Amino acid sequence: MMRVLAEKPLTGNFHKYSVTVQAFESNEKLRSFYRMVSSSTDRKGIPFVSTMEAYEYPIYGTQWHPEANRFLWKESLAAPHCAHGVRVSYLLAEFFVNEARKNLHHFETKEEEESALIDSHTPVFLGDKSSFRSLYFFD
């Protein structure tokens, strides 16, 4: 997958602003806290930090949308829905979930946990009014 990621455009890059590789490399505080995992090039050809991770903490940042390949269907965004794109999305989701499993925090009661679950909310179908076809609204 690393080879495929290096060779094919499999990430959903839909942002206008980013941390350039040059800015990252010239900032000692940023470089000492985060390791640059990947970079991409924007529409103007400027390299930017696309993925980074903290050296000593479970903190990660992406300047792309890992969920887009499976869940973003707005045609104008052209999210990569090919098999490799979906696999990348799945692998990163699996990684983040495994990182979250390391957390020992928990809800005090079963009722409190159930009220926090996404299943207790109803999605609203928006069609093409948004980048996402369905959204959840919370009070």
What's the pLDDT score for residue 134?
84
pLDDT at 54: 98
pLDDT, one tens digit for every residue, the chain (139 residues): 888 888 888 888 877 889 999 999 999 999 999 999 999 988 889 999 999 999 999 999 999 888 888 888 877 778 888 999 999 999 999 999 999 999 999 999 999 999 889 988 899 998 777 777 788 888 7
Q: Are the C-beta atoms of residues 26 and 36 closer than 8 Å to each other?
A: no
Whole-number Å distance between alpha carbons of 31 and 68 = 28
CA contacts within 13 A on the Cβ side of 112: 4
Q: What pLDDT is attached to residue 110? A: 96
Q: Give the pLDDT score at 57.
A: 94
Comparing C-alpha atoms, which of 122, 116, 17, 12 is closest to residue 71? 12
Q: How many angstroms separate the CA atoms of 104 and 117, rounded?
A: 18
Which pLDDT score is estimated for 9? 85
Q: Which residue has the tokens 């269907």?
A: 73
- What's the per-residue H, E or C state across the chain? CHHHHHHCCCCECCCCCCCEHHHHHHCHHHHHHEEEEEEEECCCCCEEEEEEEECCCCCEEECCECCHHHHCCCHHHCCCCCHHHHHHHHHHHHHHHHHHHCCCCCCCCHHHHHHHCHHHCCCEECHHHCCCCEECCCC
